[in-house]
A and B are shown apart, each in its own frame.
Chain A
């Protein structure tokens, strides 16, 4: 049986977990001292040896990303932390930054030292005001304690850290769109290559990493690569947050080794809400093809989830029970992609616009069976043909839902409307004694 492994969340039950004093009381900033005593390249090798893979969804090996920085480029190097958490279902970085911002700050200092950067940016989405306050407070505390600034802890290493607030655009979670946004432009993805390692922020060598990836670095430095690889699977090493949301008894953050299964996580979370059963779920956010009951025992690591036809993504496990209309769920996600499409490439801009129209008429019983072929045809023109992963992501819920729930789409057509009572999906559906809603004998 897999058990939980709280590391980044281990101090969250301290009321002062977000302060420098509280963080230090649980060993915080000791890894920084260790790291500053090491050669930068040794740190890069350590992170490579740990097998840490990007926790922002794509799963690219973090140490390898660092290793791609060209040795002969005279421009300054930049470290940019992607804290633009916006993938539907994803809710791990925000609680981490609220409760434990210093673990990110320590990770930033160590990582910047490792890649020889003296300027780091934390790009945090703008819609989370208190997270921004907490992060800035942590950075200021670290600065006042001499952990950020010049000659950090007498090492001769200088670093400035800027917390930069975004302004509401999902696309800025895509690393090159994020860089354009940070440069003061519309957030639109760039053509790759060149990759950010070669020409990133201000066309200089840049590393862009997710919050959770960078926050995992201090523990790796403190405990060693072998400690990290003792958790998880051979190719998906270590631990990560598994964020359970939706129709589950105890939604929340469960920090566990990669490779844990949804069945195990549901056991820990008290199961599907009382009196209901699992219908479908996303393993890693809305951009990852949906799973059903048959995937309950799929190990949640990069390889196993991929082999089962989806992606580990951000381990955002959105759980839906049998009261949920899959056509409505998918339609709403596609409205999101249409709204957030940056408009740069035609497949994504036009494809999502038209999928919204088709899904809307299907949901309301005005569609035809031929609409399903139309949707799949549009997806064919999106997947692999859009400029960035946003377009690919939009195809995921559509294609996977038609694969698993084709009949449910047809039922909408046959009945001339949605066969579901949406009120039964709400959190209060089973709570209300009688009254508000007529007639139902739900308990």
Chain B
């Protein structure tokens, strides 16, 4: 394994790196996106990736390594094309995340943070991903797959291994690969921001109920003219 990128790769990435660095008042702020960028190239942060980041920012490789190893999203060895994260923080674990994680490891014959032999799928248990009202939650390349069961999760990884079309619950129409995802994290869009639903079912529960019962925030006109009164009517909410 070489500790530097081939010249053509380096030249190509330097163009991207310049753009990233240009977004910030001070160049060191570009380090996290640059690490996402080199991960997009190789699927993980290699010694060559570290070297590249260090060269762009005038840092030592030790300084870059210190940062790269602090953050869990940077991988130090290749993941699968589709990296499956199963939430096993308390809420999801209790709701079935533990069973899902166990089922996937057994089904794929891999341990935590390991990839299948074909390199298609890797599995990792992850921490709370801010979708607790959709528990148990599974992420693939950081896209949401809500309300999973062991059966649905096994089907999901089978489909991923077979190369079938897989759609996140709240995400774009097509799942991108791990490397493509890393490139988005580095700040280069794929033009899919308008795809997918605006909100999943649980996100809309409160609004649906409010509409059904005619509940709303107070009428601003009423609060402006007579701040003290306005309790009894239907729209009031104190």
Contact = CB atoms under 8 A, between A and B. Distances in A.
Interface of A: 2-7, 9-10, 12-19, 76, 85-91, 93-95, 98-99, 119, 125-130, 132-134, 136-137, 162-170, 181-187, 202, 222-224, 226-227, 229-232, 239, 242-247, 250-257, 268-269, 286, 316, 318, 320, 324, 328-330, 332-333, 336, 339-340, 342, 422-423, 425-428
Nearest to B168: A130
B190 interface: yes
A222 B224 CA distance: 12
A366 B238 CA distance: 51
5 contacts: A5-B215, A10-B207, A93-B130, A165-B36, A226-B223
A14 B73 contact: no
Contacts of A91: 130-134
A328 B57 CA distance: 45
A186 B197 CA distance: 35
Interface in B133-160: 133-136, 139, 141-144, 147, 149
Interface in B20-42: 23-26, 28-33, 35-36
B218 interface: yes
A252 B26 contact: no
B12 interface: no
Given A165-B187, A230-B230, A332-B90, A223 B220 contact: yes
Given A126-B73, A167-B73, A184-B31, A95 B88 contact: no
Nearest to B140: A129
A99 B182 CA distance: 23
Given A133-B184, A133-B193, A170-B127, A332 B89 contact: yes
A202 B228 CA distance: 46
B134 to A, nearest CB: 8
Contacts of B135: 245-246, 251, 427
Given A14-B198, A224-B220, 20 more contacts: A13-B208, A17-B198, A133-B189, A162-B24, A169-B70, A222-B220, A224-B223, A226-B227, A242-B206, A247-B95, A251-B202, A254-B209, A255-B206, A256-B237, A268-B206, A286-B89, A329-B94, A336-B90, A422-B94, A425-B94
B185 A95 contact: no
B47 interface: no
Contact of A134 (B71, B129, B193): B193
Given A88-B127, A89-B132, A422-B98, A253 B203 contact: yes
Contacts of A316: 132
B205 A94 contact: no
A300 to B, nearest CB: 14
B96 interface: yes
A17 B199 CA distance: 9
A286 B202 contact: no
B171 A6 contact: no
A324 B93 CA distance: 11
B91 A318 contact: yes
A132 B223 contact: no
A133 B183 CA distance: 12
B128 A252 contact: no
A183 B90 contact: no
Given A5-B237, A257-B238, A428-B149, A227 B224 contact: yes
Contacts of B2: none
Interface string B227-238: 100100000111
B128 A86 contact: yes
A128 B130 contact: yes
Contact of B209 (A4, A166, A226): A4
B170 to A, nearest CB: 6
Contact of B128 (A89, A119, A251): A89
Contacts of A133: 172, 184, 189-190, 192-193
A239 B217 contact: yes
